[in-house]
Structure 1
Amino acid sequence: MLLVIGYLTTPTTATGVSLSEFWAWVRYLAALTSDTDLRLNSSFADLDPHQKTILSDDFGMGAPMLWLAERLSLEDVCDGRYFMERLAAGLSVTSANTSRRGPNKTPDFVARDASGLWHVVECKGTQSGDTFSKTQIGDAGPPAVNGVAQKRSIVFPPGYTGQRLVSGLSIAVQGSAHGSRLRIVDPEPKEPFRITESSLKLATDAAARAVVARALRLAGFEIASQAMASPLGDRPSAKRAKTPRVERERARRVAERDGLARAELTNPDLLRGVSDDGRFVGRKLLFDLPRPIEVDGQKVLRAEIRQGVNKEILTELAEEPTIEDLLQASDAEWVKKRGRTTVVADGRHATFRIGDLFMSEIKLT
């Protein structure tokens, strides 16, 4: 689950070093008890309210998305706000329901599965018990409130609509009588923002870009990630300018970034092998834990994290880091190498994969 939290909380478009890339392992590795179910130890259960909220939000995303990825065969998982910004840019509209709060807040995630269906997921997490978790999930009303209202902000056309879900994770603490509980509901919505069948290709492009950009960032290719996430400028919502002078300046800046991305993708210092078979290159981190933890009855003192992108994909991407048109309309072979999101865990070792595109691995020793 920590691998999934680290992936999902990494910004798609932020620049600079992001602590979220390692936050889940550094922060939460010592938060869990050695019980067979999910429980927080007493130290983390006694955090101040602000820190408890952050932990609950992170776990509230990681646990349900890990469970749903397997059950729904999810491939492209995209954060909702980025999805809407890219869709707005493709439709040439100023904005598209990207409120940060309230009923029109974008849902946490939009995901496409292996069969081409689209799913909308709003995630909630709490340490305040099952009753409060139900409150977070909300009610269909009228009026709809909380998670039920927020997941209503996107609807796909008939034949492409999968599940519209709200999840609530109630996190148990050490010694409590009741264990953690994950509740997922699918109330009937009345959505204010509709994606037409003709704009589905824009939706597919947005979701694919989010996945690839996040994978590149986690592997250490920040400039290439930015070029993938925001191909027309500095933000996902950037569009071609209407006036020649402004358009020339936009094109110049994009071309300059493209050159930097090419250099980054061919930099031998960044192309370090991180998988045993040598197929994935990226970043490797080994760190000592603040204190020993117990996993499967054995003491763990350190953790090794490996994150990488398929080397063949990087080689091809280096030839054209910036694809301004739809990814699926390009000739790039790497576009087809995205696939199912899977997690395999075995004791003190776990691997998170996205098709043949990306791998993330944690080993505890």
Structure 2
Amino acid sequence: MAIDIKKGTWPRKGSLPTFPSTFHSGVQTVDIHVPSALLMIGFLTTPIATTGVSLSEFWAWVRYLAAISADPDLRLTQSFADLDAHQKTILSDDFGMGLPMLWLNDKLQFDRIVDGRYFMQRFAASTGATQHRAAKRGPNKTPDFVARDLSGVWHVVECKGTQSGVGYSSNQLGGKGPPPVGGVAQKLSIIFPPGHTGQRLVCGLSIGVDGREKSKLTIIDPEPDEPLTVRSDQISNADDAATRGMIAKALRLAGFEATAEVTAAPLGFSVTAVRRKTKKAEKRREAIVAERDARARAELGQAEALRTKFDDGYLGRELNIDLPRPLPLGSKPVSRVVVRQGVKQDAISELREQPTVAEPTYDDSARWLKEVGPIEIQKDGQFSSFTIGGFFRSELMLE
């Protein structure tokens, strides 16, 4: 796949952010490992704070296998390109997030990735700040993702995807105007203090189709408009929001839904819940927290009996899926998919003692937090693994 990085959109020398040494300027062709891309899509599309079963916990790995053609370049099959507009939009959005974030994780080495909307809401609640409007669409839309790298530097990423060609993808990226349009117009960007300021990227993926243009990813660094500013004394609150969001995704993927909910929203039903000022309201809030905590304890108490154990002591679930027909992908046809996702057994045991961590996670208030580490993606032929330190492991095998 071609990646075009517009270096000229970065600030001049001496201003932040600086152009990363791991990025190239201009167009370069890179290899995309399909199982790794599917794992990343599955992780990114899993909701942080919601109840009930979400299909995004299961379907991303399998549904999109049939979408990828046997062409050496990354392209969609004609049958998927002919889907109705709604289904095409979902696929474009998912690929438009998964492929850029897979590449960026390799180049910037993230140890936290969290949905921008959750980050904004949780950060505002933990700092007592006036919450910015966190729209899901339109010019006030929050950035798709906030990520922290191994050096403690924060990056803000907006993702766009389309099957309508490179020209349309360029329009999605937009420009600063006036007025600003497209990805550049996502006003609720986030500014971090010096020493913590990373990239603020808009990534536009034009997904190729058999017999048409090749796939191309374009990356620019636009100037933010009306940003949320994080002060130096609030970096720990940013850490807490990103850690909670990422851990909640991992727990949900491993099948621990109740525990994911109390991790993402420890002070009540809502991500933005806080301690109440009146005695009566606070008592009601505490009752809600106690009920949610009890459900999480019960869930974790049954983990060893109900969950699959794999690799080096991970507890979670395994799905073995026989495809309706063999699919041509890579060196040989794929007829079966095996997916394993789990949380370290020792961490589950520790979580059982205290599922609800109301205190900020940066205070080392729970021992298992020390297991949370860098996001690493390993690939080997038709196998890929996605790990978060020693806390979470996800595997995908195409057979």
Q: Establish whether residue 126 from structure 1 lines up as the match of residue 162 from structure 2.
A: yes
Kept in 2: contact 1:120–1:151 (CA 8 A): no
Instruction: Provide, for residues 81-131 of structure 1, a one-character-per-residue CA deviation record: whole Å limited to 9, x for no partner.
Output: 100110111122453230222332100000011000000000000000001
Secondary structure, counterpart of 1:25 in structure 2: helix
Q: Establish whether residue 64 from structure 1 lines up as the match of residue 103 from structure 2.
A: no
Mapping for residues 215-234 of structure 1, pairs under 5 Å: 215-234=250-269
Cα-to-partner distance string for 1:171-191 (whole Å, 9 max, x where unaligned): 001122x31101111123343
Inter-partner Cα distance in structure 2 for 1:247 and 1:331: 22
CA contact (8 A) 1:83 1:203 kept: yes
Residue in structure 2 matched with residue 361 of structure 1 by the alignment = 395
Deviations 1:232-285 (A, max 9, x none): 00111011111101101111111121122112112133342032x3x2110101
- Structure 1 partner of 2:354: 320
Determine the structure 2 residue equivalent to 1:101. 137
Aligned residue among 209, 212, 235 for 1:200: 235
Please say if 1:298 is aligned against 2:332.
Answer: yes
Matched, 1:329 2:397: no
Matched letter for residue 187 of structure 1: P
TM-score (norm 1): 0.96
Shift of 1:292: 1.3
Cross-structure match for 2:321: 287
Distance 1:299 1:151 in 2: 45
Counterpart Cα distance in 2 of 1:73 and 1:192? 24
SS in 2 for 1:110: strand
Preserved CA contact (<8 Å) 1:343 1:350: yes
* Shift of residue 359, structure 1, vs aligned partner: 1.1
Q: 1:151 to 1:172 in 2, by over 3 A?
A: farther
Q: 1:354 to 1:106 in 2, by over 3 A?
A: same
Q: Deviations over 1:285-333 (max 9, x none)?
A: 1111132102233222111110111111111111111011101113322
The answer to whether the 8 A contact 1:151-1:166 is kept is no
Q: What's the offset of the Cα at 1:45?
A: 0.8
Letter in 2 for 1:324: A
Taking only aligned residues, the RMSD between alpha carbons, in angstroms, comes to: 1.4
Instruction: Provide the rounded CA distance (Å) in 2 between the counterparts of 1:220 and 1:38.
Output: 32
Looking at structure 1, the residues matched to 128 and 324 of structure 2 have their Cα atoms a distance apart, in angstroms, of 50
Residue 166 (structure 1) aligns with: 202
Distance 1:270 1:322 in 2: 21
Q: Partners of 1:144 and 1:194 in 2: how far apart?
A: 20
Letter in 2 for 1:255: A
Match of 2:244 in 1: 209
Measured in 1, the distance between the counterparts of 2:182 and 2:245 equals 26
Which residue of 2 is the match for residue 249 of structure 1? 284
How far off is 1:151 after superposition? 6.1
Structure 1 gaps of 5+ residues are: none
- 8 Å contact 1:264–1:270 — kept in the other structure? no
* Partner amino acid, structure 1, of 2:116: G
Q: Which runs of 4+ in 1 moved over 6 A?
A: none
Q: Is the 8 A contact 2:156 2:189 kept in 1?
A: no
Q: Is the 8 A contact 2:357 2:366 kept in 1?
A: no
Q: How many residues align?
A: 362
Q: Which residue of 1 aligns with 2:17?
A: none
CA distance in structure 2 between the aligned counterparts of 1:338 and 1:67, rounded to whole angstroms: 21
The normalised TM-score by structure 2 is 0.88
Q: Offset at 1:355?
A: 1.4
Q: Is the 8 A contact 2:322 2:336 kept in 1?
A: yes
Post-superposition CA distance 1:310-362 (Å, at most 9, x none): 11111111111101110111332221222221222222211111111111111
User: Equivalent residue of 2:93, what SS?
Assistant: helix
SS in 2 for 1:187: coil
Map 1:105-184 to 2 at 5 A. Answer: 105-150=141-186, 152-176=188-212, 178-184=213-219
Segment drifting more, 250-259 vs 224-233 = 250-259
The 10-residue stretch of structure 1 (227-236 or 150-159) with the greater mean CA deviation from structure 2: 150-159
